[in-house]
Structure 1
């Protein structure tokens, strides 16, 4: 039977996967919101370029003729910022409820009778999400900077195009890209990637902030926390180094090593996917009654659980859970085709399409009956 700490570790890994799905969905929503003004932006760009003329260029003149473009740009980033505030507030509330429900379900009731489970103040976690910086800036500061950077790309694209004698259409293509290339060839594609990075980082920052607050509120129950990294082709060196390392719960001091916690999992760098899992104290350390059932004492041994990689965890999940995470075809390739979780990525960490997977290993599809 799995111990309390083993069950918490498994739940932490699974929850990190679910948060990545949430992050993916929110990135799509925010980038779609940014793209929603493309038609109007193109129209305003054309009008601005025609007004600007080709004889002279100054920043002041460009800002004047780009007034409507810059106003639209500012407005859309304000909308994204408002949407993100709502997302992070909802996530803070959800994460608090999830952690409380998880502890209630996993820790034996005999223990919770003696050591009560403390609740975290929602306002405190929202403060962490919105009023504490991540990667050096508050969310509202990131939105303001992204808006200014996009405005600068627009100005520079027009300036360079005019200097090179390009037509209006060529300048607009330089700035926005073309549909056939998925607009990836335009200067503004960098802005989409920047929004994605900030959205993912804000979500992981909020989720880890809620976890940290919950763990510290229940310091009587928790002795230490373990760093959990998703080990695959995309894992950063910082997170590979810290995977499974143990830290004190209250001050995050290293235990048995010298690698600093720094900002912590989910926050140590942009788009960090690492998380943490608590180590519940043993029943003796909690001074629980010796009359506890033997099964309860065994489950609350206070030991750090055996290291489980993401791949091992995924292979041990139910077929339904594997289908949910990978999709039914990839999950079948995992179960019946002989593929491992790492096989679904290329050497750059990109998730391969089914077509690319088939080209790489057609035998696995045959074996899986696909």
Structure 2
């Protein structure tokens, strides 16, 4: 039977995977807001550049003509900011409930009677999400900066295009990109990448803030916190270094090593996917006696820390349905029946390979999996 700490570690890894799916959904939601404004933005850009013309172009006149473009840009980012604020508030509430439910379901009833779980104030965690910086700025500041940055880049492309004699279509195409290229060649794709990074980091920042608050409030149950990194082809060097390292629950001081916590898992760098898991104290440390809990319960509450489980090891131990949910049906089958390990799904830059690219690399695996 798995110990309490082994159960909590496995649940923490699975929950981190689910948070990545949530991040994907939130990115799609924000991107949809930007995409819906694209046609309107294109029309306003075309009209603005046409009004300027090569003979009337001055910076002052350009700023006047671009007013409608700036208004639309501000409107879109205001909507995106409101959507993000709603998302992190909902996540804060969910994460508190999740941790409460996880501890209630995992810890023996006798332990929870002796050391009841402390409840967390939702407003406290929401304040962490919106009122504590990540990557140096608050959520609202990041949204404002992204808006200003995109407006400035649009302005600069128009300036360059006008003085270099580009046509209206060429200038607008440089901003919007080409449809056949998936608009990846356009200036606005940079804005989409910035939004992607900000949304994913805000989600992980909020989730970790809720976990930290819950762990600290229940410090009488928890002895230490362990850093959990998603170990695969995309894992950053700082997260690989910290995977499995222990820290104090309250101040996050290193335990048995000298590697600093810094901003913590989920916040140490952009798009960080690391998480944390608690170490529950042994039953003796909680002041319980042999007469308080059965022998089997005492065994599950030994306080021992399981060996750090990599993401690849964890996914191998999941059900086929869970593997398919995380990896997709084809990749799940390639892992189970084709013999491909998790790292084979990425290139040496950590980018996910397409199924066609995977087939080119290892057609035999597809044959073994019947794909």
Deviation at 1:355, TM superposition (A): 1.4
- Tell me the distance in 1 between the aligned counterparts of 2:351 and 2:27: 17
Distance 1:249 1:60 in 2: 56
Q: Does 1:23 align with 2:23?
A: yes
1:27-66 matches, cutoff 5 A: 27-55=27-55, 57-66=57-66
Spell out, residue by residue over 1:270-305, the C-alpha distance to the aligned partner (whole angstroms, 9 max, x if none).
Answer: 110000000000001001121221111111111111
**Corresponding residue for residue 199 of structure 2:** 199
Quote how far apart the aligned CAs of 1:55 are.
3.1
The residue number in structure 1 matching 2:310 is: 309
2:266 corresponds in structure 1 to 266
**Matches of residues 25-174 of structure 1 in structure 2 within 5 Å?**
25-55=25-55, 57-174=57-174
Look up the SS of the partner of 1:223 in the other structure. strand
C-alpha separation between the residues in 2 aligned to 1:172 and 1:267?
Answer: 36
Structure 1 length-normalised TM:
0.98
**1:177-234 per-position Cα deviation (integer Å, ceiling 9, x unaligned):** 1100111111111000000011001000000000000000100000000001111221
| RMSD (Å) for aligned C-alpha atoms | 0.9
Matches within 5 A, 1:222-237: 222-237=222-237
Matched residue, 2:252: 252
The answer for the alignment partner of 2:322 in structure 1 is 321
Instruction: Give the Cα separation in 1 of the matches to 2:188 and 2:324.
Output: 35
2:227, 2:277 within 8 Å by CA — same for their partners in 1?
Answer: yes
Paired residue for 1:5? 5
Partners of 1:193 and 1:50 lie apart in 2 by 29
TM-score with structure 2 length normalisation? Answer: 0.98
**Residue 240 of structure 2 aligns with which residue?**
240
Match of 1:351 in 2: 352
The alpha-carbon deviation at position 131 of structure 1 amounts to 1.3
Rounded to whole Å, the distance in 1 between the matches of 2:308 and 2:299 is 19
Distance 1:336 1:273 in 2: 28
CA distance in 2, matches of 1:58, 1:331: 58
Q: Does structure 1 retain, via aligned residues, the 8 Å contact 2:243–2:308? A: no
1:331 aligns with 2:332: yes
- String of CA shifts for 1:314-343, please: whole Å, max 9, x gaps: 000011111111111111111111011111
Any idea what SS the aligned residue of 1:260 has? coil
Listed one character per residue, the Cα deviations across residues 70-91 of structure 1 (whole Å, up to 9, x for unaligned) are: 0000000000000001111110
Residues 97-116 of structure 1: CA deviation (Å, up to 9, x unaligned): 00000000111111001001
Task: Report how far residue 137 of structure 1 moved.
Answer: 0.8
Q: CA deviation at 1:57?
A: 4.4
CA distance in 2, matches of 1:190, 1:55: 30
1:143-170 per-position Cα deviation (integer Å, ceiling 9, x unaligned): 1100011001111111111111111001
Deviations 1:22-64 (A, max 9, x none): 1011111111211111101011001110111213544332211
Give the Cα separation in 2 of the matches to 1:27 and 1:261.
Answer: 27
Of 78-87 and 325-334, deviating more is 325-334
